[in-house]
């Protein structure tokens, strides 16, 4: 099996890292619970434009009116707080020991994504890393999947043996479908949005759940 895995909120707890950093920043700068809620909402799970998040931090916490500096500050905070999900790297080790191949396929700027990967020690547990900011193409463009398969040396593999696993329907599931591979969605307890198309091939509350469903040959999940 070939595993293509998203990074943020799939292998590492990016949203938890942002929330933990934001709570500290708000407390340090005399903000309120309402400020914290607004900052976390503005982040939108990492999908909001970074300048929008920076502006919320500047306006609510009285930071210097420097959007780029604010972006650098909260990105650094995420890197400092990010952690790999418990057990998921061990699961990847077990899959690779059994002959599977695995690659990280992540959207984002190089230094930020590489920083998270380094902090969590992920490189030792996968066979390749593909970062959109380094490749000039990002999910859901299927070319990023082709880059990952080439990096793994498996461009001719049966696409039914390739799984794109991630938490974002509009990016991870969409890119898997566009590339003609199987799709696994990490729901984190959310319901699938039918506006994003049919339910993915495997659905689990956590990444470990998705991996277990697929390896057990029972990909269909509620």
Residues 141 and 180 in one domain: yes
Last residue of one domain, picked from the residues 81, 98, 132:
81
Phi, psi (degrees; rounded to nearest 5) at 138: -135, 160
Q: For position 222, what pLDDT does the model report? A: 46
Tokens of 3: 């595993």
Averages of pLDDT over runs of 10 residues in the chain (222 residues) are 98 97 97 97 95 97 97 97 98 98 98 98 98 98 98 96 97 98 97 93 97 86 48
Residues 136 and 61 in one domain: no
CA distance linking residue 161 with residue 111, whole number of Å: 31
Q: Give the other-Cβ count within 10 Å of 70's Cβ.
A: 21
Q: Is residue 77 part of a domain?
A: yes
Residues 184 and 126 in one domain: yes
Residues 148 and 90 in one domain: yes
CATH code for the domain in which residue 113 is found: 3.40.50.1000
Residues 23 and 105 in one domain: no
Number of domains the chain contains: 2
CA-to-CA separations, 167 to 154, 172, 202, in angstroms, rounded: 24, 7, 12
- Residue by residue, DSSP assigns 63-116 as --S-HHHHHHHHHHHHHHH--BPTTHHHHHHHHHHTT-EEEEEE-S-HHHHHHH
Q: For position 220, what pLDDT does the model report? A: 58
Q: Is residue 222 part of a domain?
A: no
Residues 202 and 114 in one domain: yes
Last residue of one domain, picked from the residues 24, 55, 81:
81
Q: Is residue 220 part of a domain?
A: no
List the one residue out of 125, 121, 128 whose CA is nearest residue 144. 128
- Structural domain harbouring 162: 2-13+84-215
Beta bridge partners of 103: 4, 128
Last residue of one domain, picked from the residues 81, 115, 140:
81
């Amino acid at each position: 099996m070939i595993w293509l895995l998203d990074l943020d909120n799939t292998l590492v707890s990016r949203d938890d890292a942002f929330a933990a950093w934001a709570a500290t920043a708000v407390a340090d700068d005399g903000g309120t619970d309402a400020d914290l809620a607004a900052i976390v909402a503005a982040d939108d799970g990492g999908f909001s434009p970074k300048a929008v998040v920076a502006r919320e931090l500047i306006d609510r916490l009285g930071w210097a009116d420097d959007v780029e500096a604010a972006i650098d500050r909260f990105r650094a905070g995420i890197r400092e707080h990010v952690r790999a999900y418990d057990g998921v790297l061990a699961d990847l080790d077990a899959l690779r020991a059994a002959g599977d191949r695995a690659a990280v396929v992540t959207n984002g700027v190089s230094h930020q994504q590489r920083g998270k990967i380094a902090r969590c020690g992920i490189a030792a547990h996968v066979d390749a890393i593909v970062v959109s900011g380094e490749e000039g193409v990002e999910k859901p463009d299927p070319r990023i999947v082709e880059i990952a398969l080439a990096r793994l040396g498996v461009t001719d593999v049966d696409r039914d043996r390739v799984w794109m696993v991630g938490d974002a329907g509009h990016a991870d599931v969409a890119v898997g479908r566009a590339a003609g591979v199987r799709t696994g969605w990490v729901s984190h307890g959310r319901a699938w949005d039918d506006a994003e198309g049919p339910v993915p091939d495997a659905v689990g509350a956590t990444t470990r759940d998705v991996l277990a469903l697929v390896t057990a040959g029972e990909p269909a999940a509620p």
